[in-house]
Amino acid sequence: MIKQISIPFIFLLFLSSCSSTISTSKKEYILQHSKELKSDWTINSKEWILKNDTLTGKGSLSPWGVLISKKQLPENYEIDLKVNMTNESLFEIMLHLDKGKYIRTYLYQIDQNIVIGDGVYDKKDDSYGKRGGKTLFRKPMQLENNKWYSVKIKVLNNQLHFSVDDKTSLECSLEKSNLNQKGKLGFITNGEVKITDLKIKSI
């Protein structure tokens, strides 16, 4: 005897499979398996791997190690992750990557700051001025190699909130700062970085 499957259930499955965003209001996206990394992200396997629930990125001053989602972020969302910069000085979360522009949210050891900035990204060019960009907002924070930090990013009604360890935070209006209001998610490292507990959900 074949069990009857409800139409709403089938409709939800259809929505989740065809969604153009990296998460939906019905589902929290959690990166746990290497097959998800291959299917959901544009990767260079020499730069990024997922093993034992830990995403490891390796880059250099040129080129950076870059990982970019294939789907866009939701309109309103939260991103939670834990990060450890095991080598070198920069870990950057790219927000709303679209047409070569993105929002820079990053931890920078050289200046000992967390930063929100306006970025550009040319995937075919590693030269100065073709990646990265200007700083808009910064706040001092002691940052070290081989130490885990909890990062939370929230975008709600075009207001960006970026915090590290629930104690150092920055906020800005995307509209007033002339920043992208939609696009993909990405990660950048200029050395080696480890990421765990990556969660993305619509709010």
The per-residue pLDDT for range 11-66, each reduced to its tens digit, is 333 334 457 999 887 789 999 898 999 999 998 888 999 999 999 999 998 889 99
Instruction: State residue 42 phi and psi, 5-degree precision.
Output: -90, 115
CA 149 – CA 108 distance, rounded (Å) = 13
Tell me if 29 sits within 8 A of 49, measured CB to CB.
Answer: no
SS3 string of 129-163?
CCEEEEEEEEEECCCCCCCEEEEEEEEECCEEEEE
Give 105's pLDDT tier (boundaries 50, 70, 90). very high
Signed CA dihedral, 157, 91, 114, 175: sign only: negative
The per-residue pLDDT for range 129-148, each reduced to its tens digit, is 788 899 999 999 999 999 99
